[in-house]
Every structure is written in C-alpha cells, then in structure tokens.
Structure 1
Amino acid sequence: MEKLQELTLSGNALERSIPNSLYQLVHMGNLYLDNNALSGPISTSINNLTNLQKLYLNSNSFSSALPPALCELKDLIWLYLEDNSFTVLLPLDVGNLVAVDKMDISVNQLSGELPVSLSELQSLEYLNLSKNSVNGNIHGNIDVMVNIKIIDLSYNNLCGGIPKSLENLQQPQVLDLSFNRLERAIASGGNFTNLSIDSFVGNYALCGAPKFHVPVCSDGVKKHNIVNMIKVDIFLASGGFVLLLIVWILIFVEKYRKSGLERHCHEVERFRGIVLPVITYRMFSQATINFSDANFMGTGSFGSVRKPIDESFNGDFTLRQWVAEVFPLPISDVINGHLLKQNSSETVSDHAAEGHLLKQNNSGTVLNELLVMIMETGLSCSRKAPTERMGMKAVVARLKTIRRKASPLKE
C-alpha cells in the first residue's frame, strides 16, 4: 500500500472523514473519492501527498475551510472539490498551484474576495467558482492568465465593474459572470465581441451594447435622468401631501358638522328663513369672465368645472395671498361662518343649561383654535418655495396635536 499510485473509490457510500492512513501514501498520484458521503475537514496532512496530480473529492459532504496545506501540492493538475460545503475564502497561496490545469470548487459556501494570487495560475484552462458567496471586485490582472479558456463566476455576490482588461484574454471560450451584482459598462472590444447575453444576465446595473440586452451606457444622460426623476418624485410627494392635508381638513370639518347636527338637531330651526342667493347663467358667466380657459379647473361626467373669480383677485394676487394677509384675524372671513356661530338664542333657565351653554362656548373656542392651526398648516405647506414649507415631521406632529384636541368635541 505504501507504493500505491492510484486509488479509485468513487460512487460508494463511504462516510465519515478521510482516514489519516490515507495521507501517508506519499507515492499517490491520482485519488478518486468523489460521489460518496465523506464529511469533515480536509486534513493539513494532505501536503504529504507531494506526488498527487489528480484529486477528486467532489459530491461529498466535506466542510470547513480549505487548508493552506492544499496549496503546497505543486504537481497537482486537476482539482475537483465541487458540490460540498467548504466555507470561508480560497487560500491566499492558491497561486502556488503552478501546475493546475482544471479547478472546480463550485456549489460550496465559499465567501470573501478572490485572491490576487489567482492570476498566477498561468497553466489554468478551466476555473469554476460558481454558486458560492464570493464577493468583492474582479481583479483586473486576470487577463494575464494566458491559457484560460473557461471562467465561470456566476451566482456569487461579485460587485463593482467588469475590468476592461478582460478584453485582453487570449482564448476565452466561456466567460460567465451572470447573476452577480456587477455594474457599469460591459467592454465591447477584444474577445467580448464573441460573448452573448448569457454571460451577463442577472446583473441589473450593467450597461453596454444592445446585443447584451442591457441599457446603452450614457453617463451624462443617466445622471440627468436621475436628477429629473428625483425632482419629479419630490414634486409629486410634496403636492400629494398638500392634497392629502386638504382632504384631511375637509373630512375633519365634515365629521364635526355631522356630529354637531346629530347632537343638536333642534339647531336646524335657526336656519329657517335663510334665503340662498340665486345665481343666474349671466352672473356665473361674468364671474368666470365669459367661461375663460384661465378659470378652467377640470371636467366631470356632466360638464366642465370653472373657478369664479372675485374682482378682488386681479393680476397675480392669489387666493392664498388673500388668506395669508387676513389670517389669523378675522378667521370668520376665511372659513364658513356657520362653523363658528353658536346658538345665542337658547333659553337658559337653570344651572344645567348654563353648564351646557358654557360647554358650547368652550367647544367654539377650541374649534376656533383648531381651525387656526389647520389654516396655519395649510398655508405653510402651500408656500411656493419648497424650502420655505413646513417639514414633514413638523406637519405630522401638528396633525396629531389637532386630532388630540379635537377628540373632546365628539363627546
């Protein structure tokens, strides 16, 4: 057994770890232990097999890190370790395997960055590190691997750009960088002209030639579009929030109005005798300046909606400016006066009635305060310059305060 040069035990049901006695077979040239159920780490004693040329340990359950002692096998030509559970990164001295021709460590749990010494494998023709968790950048010095034909780094976490120096690879037949996190431009010269979309699919931040099915690279246009998209997002966000605030105010006022009517149905009596003004077609035509498009607000299912313009709003003088000028005094000129009017004609005959009237007066005061806060918030959020508007956190805090103070009004 000491002079044994080849051992083939592939496709059996071998379990546990490799026995230490096997590492003493110093004349071993080829070792085939693939497709078993072997487990545990590879012993550091593997460096005793100085004559080893072919090592097949693939399709087992080996785990832990690859021992640096493996890189001392300078006569090793074929190294197949795929379909195991090896962890951590490749040994930093992997470049010492100067004779290796084929290396497959795919379908493991390797992590960390690609060793710089990988480029020292000048005899390497086949490299497969796919389906691991290798991260970091692809080193640009891989192009010095003059004999490399197949490089498969797919299904990892590689990031950054694809080195342009890879165009200089002498005879690559396969370069698979798919399903990583690579970005920026795909090189278009050298042997990259023979590559297809399959080499780069799954990297969603790449750009390049249309044949790769990625966006065309244009840094200036890309930056300009990103800036425009940010501006649009900010505009839509601020505009949408102001609209949401207005809707919230309307809902609040409507809820208060309805709750007030439910509690004080008898108050309807005091509105009897009120005559609503009759607006004729001619009056409405004059108010909208003969239905001018300048006053056009939108269309509905049954016609168009226009904004009647009071003669007070001439030129660039807007409704918001008018509200800002008269606010906060008197608020009754800004909102519907019925919201603030209390029933002054109620008969007060006893202490209970006096308490009820006092509660009504207090409710009116609180309502007036809340409306002032709402109007202040609306005015702040509708300022023309975004930098002058109230911040989102401040607005949320203000709305919570309004809701808290409004709760007693529902009782």
Structure 2
Amino acid sequence: MERNFSLSMITVSLTHCLLLCLVVAAASNNITTDQQALLALKDHITYDPTNLFAHNWTSNTSVCTWIGITCDVNSHRVTALDISQFNIQGTIPPQLGNLSSLTTLNLSRNKLSGSIPPSIYTMHTLKFLDFTDNLLSGSVSSSVFNMSSILDIRLTNNRLSEGNKLTGPIPITFGRLQKLQGLDLAFNKLVGSFPDELCHLARLDQLALFGNKLSGSIPSCLSNLTSLRSLYLGSNRFTSVIPSTFWSLKDILFFDFSSNFLVGTLSFDIVNLKVPLGISLSENNLSGDMPATVGGLKNLQIMDLAYNRLEGQIPESFGDLTSLEVMNLSNNKISGSIPKSMEKLFYLRDLNLSFNELEGEIPSGGIFANFTAESFMGNELLCGLPNLQVQPCKILLIVIVLPLSIALTIAITLPLKSKLIGCGKRSTVLSNDSVLSSQATLRRFSYLELLQATYNFAENNVIGIGGFGSVYRARLEDGMKIAKKVFHQQCASALKSFEAECEVLKNIRHRNLIKLSKQSLQSISPRIHVQRELGGLAAF
C-alpha cells in the first residue's frame, strides 16, 4: 500500500512539473512572439532621428524594458505599445497583429506611411487605437468589427502635417462595436453618407468626422446617441436641415456643423440642449431669425454663427448668456440695434458683429469698452465713439451756459414743467421784466468740442438724469463752463420730450434764457444744437 502511495505521489509531482514546464515554455514562446513582432516594427522603421530604437530595442534585453513598452506584471506579455511623437518614418508591419495581449496601440504623430495591415483589425483585446497624424493611406477595413473590445479609435489627421489620407466610405461594420466610446476619423478623404449604423453605438461619447468629403443628410437617428458629448461634422458636404430630433440630445457639450451646406432655420428647441459649452454653425446657408431661446443656454461659452443668411435682430435675451466668451455673428443680414443687455456679458473677450446691417448706437458700457473697430466694421448705420471708426451718434443737445451751482435746479425744473404742459394743466410761467437784449448772440459748438468738454460724456460729469437724457457739466477750451442736456435719439420718446421741454423754454421769461419762437421750434432738428452764453438766473 505504501508502494502504491509513493507511486501516486511521484505521478502527481511529475504532472505538476510537466504543467509548470509547459507554462514556462508557453510564456517564453509568447515573449518571443511579442519580441519578434516588435523587432519586425523596428525593421520597418526607415528613419529614426534619435536612434532610440537602434540602441534600446535589442534582442539581448527583456522586451519589457524597452522604451514605449508596457507588460503585464504576471504574464509578462506586452499590453501597451506607445511610441507616439518620435517623428519616425516607415510602415506598419503585419506582425504587430501577433501582439495578442495588446490593449493600447499608439503610433500617433509620426510619419508612418502605407496602409493599415488587416491583422490590426483582428486584435480582439485591443481597447485603444491611435494612428493620428501620420501619412497612412488606403481605406478603413470592414473587418474593423472584429475588434470586439475596442473603446476608442483615432485615425484622424493633424493639420500641422500632411496627415492621413484614408479614403472610401465609413464601413457600416463600425455599428457592431457596441463598446465603442470614441471614434475619430477627422481630416481624411472619406466619402459617402453618414452611416445610420453609427447610431447603434449607444455608448459613443465622441464622434469626429470633421474635414472629410461626406455628403447627404445629417441623420435623424442621431438622437439615439444619448451618451454623446462631442459631435464634429464640420468641413464636409452635408446639405440637409439640422434634424429636429438633434435638439433632444440634452447632454451634448460641443457640436460643430460648420463649413457645410446646411439650410433651414435655427430651431426654438435649441434651448433643450441643457449644458452646451460650444456651438459652431458657421459657413452654412442657415436663414431666418435667431431664436430668443438661445438666451437660455446659461453655460454656453462659444457661439459661432458667422457666414450664414441669418436675419432679424439680436435678441435681447443674448444678454443672459453670462458664461459667453466668444460670439461671432459676422457676415449675416442681422439688423436692428445691439442690445445694451450685452454689456453685462463680463466674460466676453471676442465679439465679431462685422458685416451685417446693424444700426444705432454701439453700447459703451461694460465689456464693450474693450472692443475695437474690427468687431463692428461693415455696419454703415452704426454710430458711437470715434475710436470705433463709426459715425458719431445723432443726439439732441440743448446747451445752456449756466453757473454750475444752479444747473441741477434747471435740470429738474424743465421736466416738471413739461409734465404739467403734457397733462393739459396750467403751469406757472417764470417771469422777468428784463428779456434778452438785442446784443445777445448765438454761439455754435461742434460735436467734437462738446465731446472733449465732457471727457467723452464721462459719468462723473453728470449732474442730472431724466427719463430721456442726462445733464452734463462741461468746461470749454476758453474756460467757459456750461451745462448741457443730452437726449438719446435711440429712445423713441426722446423727441417728444425734447419738444415738450422746448415748449417750456418758449414760455419762460428771463434775461439769461433765449426765447424760442414758434418758428424756432419748427426749425429745430435732431442735428441742431441750441446754445446761448448766459450769465446766470439771478433771483430765480
């Protein structure tokens, strides 16, 4: 019995030894396979500016110590190959497909040429593939669906170099990669339509097809991509409207449809996009008014709607875009005035409203003090400060030279008397037996002279504010002190208020005020400045 037991123990020991030998042999063979695959890549490198691979990738050292290589700590198999940004030239050998434990393959930002070997698409363990910014050519294989574990595919170009030249249509087999989270095929020469099969990628977080030759419609099935955060379809040849279903992607952060041939209008449903940070729809054929609901996009930082056919006015609600940093509405047909509500967009650093049909006064408060003429050029009816290279605004000025001690009194009295006259009530008329002498003369001032006298209508020179204008104190170059009432013509009621105050002035009798006749009132236009040098209102 003891003999049988001993034989059994010997058998078990031999079995364990045999298994251990097989494992060691298998591991050794796998390391050899991985090493052979990497040495094949080394042999396909035709230019190595640093000679790094010649000195480091050698057969007499462990593959796990090579630069750019990561191995599993247990199996010692190669799990990651990252030799990006080495500026190497050459081709990709088919032997790379033998790295059967590889999860990360990054050859980006080199100058590798030729086609992608079919063996790459058989790497079932691969999760991350990046061939960005090379000189690769050929088409994307339909065998891509075999990469069952893939999460992120990046075959994009970088415009700093000549870039990849992948051609042909986008394989519909991409739709089978149910784990795929990122797909970047930008800046190639892909043609054809947007495959509906891509809408099956429920986990897709980023889709970049920018800079190809894709055509046809943007599919309505995009609404199925509920995990999508970034969508880049710009610089293609899409010709459709933006599908109404797109606006249901409430969690999208960035979308770029620029430089296509899209038509139609911007939907009021854009407000359904709860958290967008960047929107680019420039260089299309979009038309119609800009929806006021855009103002509900509180997190929006970049909005580019340039080079379209948008019409109507800039909505007042744009002043609610409090996170906005960049706004480009240039080269459209936008009319009306620039909303003063936009003065509170404190983070806005880049504003371009050029080449539209805007009119009226350019706001001067808030962030508008930081903008230059380039932001407003090509709008012939805009007016504002001289540094913006637009015409001066048409304003109504009643300039009455007064001692500054009583200027505020006049600023308050005239509106009160206007109100009494407007209501049909009898007002008490200031009287004085001494009227303006025949020696009194009118003095005219240029707009620039008045602008300089008030330091560009500085707020610290305001001595009174009414419903339709303000009273400023000023000192002319000859030392004369004046007070002037400024009516802003952009206010619809300002002209009526001006006429009412002129009516009051017509009825006032004082030696230091000019009597305005009926003919004088009829001759006053928004461009006329009525001025008079006065000594004071004694015994007012």
Using structure 1 for the length normalisation, give the TM-score.
Answer: 0.53
Partner of 2:220: 44
- Per the TM alignment, residue 159 of structure 1 is displaced from its structure 2 partner at its CA by 0.3
Structure 1 runs of 4+ aligned residues shifted over 3 Å read: none
Q: How does 1:5-404 map to 2 (within 5 A)?
A: 5-220=181-396
Partner Cα distance (1:164, 1:2) in 2: 50
**Counterpart secondary structure, 1:65:** coil
Partner Cα distance (1:140, 1:116) in 2: 8
- Per the TM alignment, residue 19 of structure 1 is displaced from its structure 2 partner at its CA by 1.0
Partner Cα distance (1:6, 1:45) in 2: 18
- Per the TM alignment, residue 12 of structure 1 is displaced from its structure 2 partner at its CA by 2.0
Does structure 2 retain, via aligned residues, the 8 Å contact 1:74–1:96? yes
Partner Cα distance (1:128, 1:55) in 2: 15
- Per the TM alignment, residue 141 of structure 1 is displaced from its structure 2 partner at its CA by 1.1
Cα deviation digits, residues 351-399 of structure 1 (max 9, x gap): xxxxxxxxxxxxxxxxxxxxxxxxxxxxxxxxxxxxxxxxxxxxxxxxx
- Per the TM alignment, residue 120 of structure 1 is displaced from its structure 2 partner at its CA by 0.9
**Counterpart secondary structure, 1:94:** helix
Partner Cα distance (1:56, 1:64) in 2: 16
Q: Percent identity of the aligned residues? A: 38
The answer for unaligned runs of 5 or more in structure 1 is 222-411
Q: Which has the higher helix share?
A: 1
The answer for unaligned runs of 5 or more in structure 2 is 1-176, 398-540
Using structure 2 for the length normalisation, give the TM-score.
Answer: 0.40
Cα deviation digits, residues 217-262 of structure 1 (max 9, x gap): 12449xxxxxxxxxxxxxxxxxxxxxxxxxxxxxxxxxxxxxxxxx
Partner Cα distance (1:34, 1:216) in 2: 44
- Per the TM alignment, residue 88 of structure 1 is displaced from its structure 2 partner at its CA by 1.2
Paired residue type of 2:376? F
Partner Cα distance (1:84, 1:42) in 2: 11
Paired residue type of 2:393? C
Partner Cα distance (2:254, 2:394) in 1: 44
Partner of 1:294: none
Q: Which has the higher strand share?
A: 2
Partner of 1:370: none
**Counterpart secondary structure, 1:14:** strand
Paired residue type of 2:193? S
Partner Cα distance (2:247, 2:343) in 1: 29
Does structure 2 retain, via aligned residues, the 8 Å contact 1:3–1:25? yes
Does structure 1 retain, via aligned residues, the 8 Å contact 2:294–2:317? no
- Per the TM alignment, residue 170 of structure 1 is displaced from its structure 2 partner at its CA by 2.1
Aligned length: 221
Which is worse superposed, 111-120 or 212-221? Answer: 212-221
Partner Cα distance (1:208, 1:160) in 2: 15
**Counterpart secondary structure, 1:103:** strand
Partner of 1:230: none
Cα deviation digits, residues 262-308 of structure 1 (max 9, x gap): xxxxxxxxxxxxxxxxxxxxxxxxxxxxxxxxxxxxxxxxxxxxxxx
Does structure 2 retain, via aligned residues, the 8 Å contact 1:67–1:91? no
Does structure 2 retain, via aligned residues, the 8 Å contact 1:207–1:215? yes
**Counterpart secondary structure, 2:293:** helix
Which is worse superposed, 197-206 or 95-104? Answer: 95-104
Does structure 1 retain, via aligned residues, the 8 Å contact 2:358–2:379? yes
- Per the TM alignment, residue 104 of structure 1 is displaced from its structure 2 partner at its CA by 0.8
Partner Cα distance (2:193, 2:270) in 1: 23
